[in-house]
Chains A and B, each alone.
Chain A
Amino acid sequence: MTIRLSLRKRFRKLTVNSKGFSSVIGTTFMVLVMMFLSTSVFLWTLSQNTLYNEALRARNQEEADRSSENIVALTGNYSVSGSEVTVNVVLKNAGSVAVQIINLWVLDSDPSNRRYTNKSLNLNLKSGDILNLVGLNGLKVTIPGASSSHNFASWFVTAKGNTIPLEKELGVIVAQLAQGIGSIALDFYTFRYYTYETSPPNKLKNYPAGNISFNVPSGKDIAFGIVLSNLDPSKQTITFDLYSQVWIYFPQAPGQNRLWHIVNVAPDGTITTPYSPITIAYGETKLIVFATETPGGFKRVSILQEGPCALNLLLLGKIGTRDYGQNIPFVSLYVYKP
């Protein structure tokens, strides 16, 4: 008997004989039911695990965002008036995510007056933003019994729960010293004068280096170069108008005053007119040239008198949005006959 014949015979027997067929169907049905149930439970468990994993991922993302917050509180200082404490600070978002600041806490850490207060804020800083909270924009809080001799600690709280401590600026002494004489710091060692090129007549010779000296020639048209720094404690920009000037007087020869108004100078040393206001941002240092007798225009000035004289700096303009005026005795000069 061949294998093929044997298989055909067996198949015929299987199809003809229906005994035990119901058991097969029942078993198949039960297996299907069990598979359906177990698969449902498995898939449902899987979906629950997915939910948990999603929550975990969201939590990790929040943690990452939270740790990405990087707000730097720069140049902090406090000023006290009665029980009102003003917190001056420059906030910079040095992180990669936007930050919302919701609270400021200020603590008077003096043992005699351990009090604290908080102020609700809503400051939003995008990445790279700088927020100047100084001067009129300073954050004011009330702490009964506060005094300028007390030490304060303060910190900001972000919406994500981070705290940003405010570090007190050490350089505040410099700014306060500047405030004692105005908001401008002067550099004595770089004081210089300029003479003019023969052509064009409005071009300074050897600009910007000039002649760093306190001895200037008489009878020659000269201009002065002064390096000024803005150290305004309220960190505002200073703008000089056309009436800003330097002026000299001779103690031994009263009435021989001379004055030089502020001018704009092109990089090649050419004095340009009309005058366009010069600004110095907080912390910026600039070389300012004084050259013209007429404000806003150009008229060269020479010194006819010889001997020692005093040079004063008379500055007018704006500091922030407010008017600004300052007169400072600056250097002493000796005018010699060339």
Chain B
Amino acid sequence: MKLKGIECLEMDLRKVWKLLRERRAVSTVVSSVILTGAVIAVSFVVLFWAQYRSSAYNEQYSEAMNADIARLKERLAFEYVFYSGGNLTVYLMNCGTIDNVTVKTVYVSNSTSVKVFSTINLTNFNGVEIADQDLDRGEEGCIVLSSLSLQAGTSCSVRVVTGRGSTFDHTFVA
């Protein structure tokens, strides 16, 4: 019985030795391993690249969408526009649903010309400068635009462009 077990072990060792000595299929195995490794590596590269591209796309899309949503929530009401002595005073109120509405540019136009104001100073109705230069929800502010020459009694319009890119128009009689 013991003799039979030793014979079996010898036979197994011989098979292993034969397998190690046999070189006929080695090249196929190596090439398969290399090929598989390369494929896996390329696959991961493609996967990470796709993930990077999709997250970049997500970020870009998200930013654009958030900007659009913020712009949608903005609304400025013109409480009064008063022109006297070359100065145009525009009284505004943020009646939208978003804070921090800034005024970037103001266009004042009549039938013949357009004047652009890019340096805007927001004050409250008492003339005191608003510290953060923006209008929160329900906040009122005033802009004084000087050096204008509008003809009294003519119809003019004022366009306010906010920092987020919304535009609000109002027509008044100078």
Contacts and interface: CB of A to CB of B under 8 A. Distances in A.
Interface residues of B, number: 30
Given A37-B50, A37-B51, A55 B73 contact: yes
B97 A58 contact: yes
Interface in A218-244: none
A26 interface: yes
A201 to B, nearest CB: 67
B79 A163 contact: yes
Nearest to A26: B39
Contacts of B58: 41, 44-45
Contact of A33 (B39, B47, B80, B84): B47
B72 A116 contact: no
B128 to A, nearest CB: 15
A40 B54 contact: yes
Interface in B28-56: 36, 39, 43, 47, 50-51, 54
Interface size classification for chain A = 20 to 34
B79 A157 contact: yes
A118 B79 CA distance: 10
B72 A55 contact: yes
A22 B39 CA distance: 12
Nearest to B74: A59
B130 interface: no
Interface in B102-124: none
Nearest to A54: B69
Contacts of B51: 37
Given A41-B57, A161-B75, 13 more contacts: A37-B54, A41-B54, A41-B58, A44-B58, A45-B61, A48-B61, A55-B72, A62-B97, A103-B140, A118-B80, A118-B125, A160-B95, A163-B79
A141 to B, nearest CB: 13
B172 interface: no
A56 B58 CA distance: 21
Given A33-B47, A157-B93, A52 B69 contact: yes
A269 to B, nearest CB: 58
A304 B153 CA distance: 72
A289 B107 CA distance: 68
Nearest to B69: A55
A114 B65 CA distance: 46
Interface in A12-42: 22, 26, 30, 33-34, 37, 40-41
A103 B54 contact: no
A100 to B, nearest CB: 10
Contacts of A40: 54
Contacts of B12: none
A48 B72 contact: no
A34 B54 CA distance: 11
B171 interface: no
A105 B79 contact: yes
B61 A30 contact: no
A49 B69 CA distance: 10
Interface string B69-87: 1001101110110101000
Nearest to A111: B152
A159 interface: yes
A59 B72 contact: yes
27 contacts: A26-B39, A30-B43, A41-B58, A44-B58, A45-B58, A48-B62, A49-B65, A51-B65, A51-B69, A52-B68, A55-B72, A58-B73, A59-B73, A62-B75, A102-B138, A103-B93, A105-B80, A114-B84, A116-B82, A118-B79, A157-B77, A159-B138, A161-B75, A161-B76, A161-B93, A161-B95, A162-B77
B59 to A, nearest CB: 11
A116 to B, nearest CB: 6
Nearest to A161: B77
B54 A159 contact: no
B54 A56 contact: no
B43 to A, nearest CB: 6
Interface in A126-167: 157, 159-163
A47 to B, nearest CB: 10
A73 B152 CA distance: 29
Contacts of A56: 72
Interface string A115-130: 0101000000000000
Contacts of A162: 77
Interface in A153-196: 157, 159-163
Contacts of A161: 75-77, 93, 95
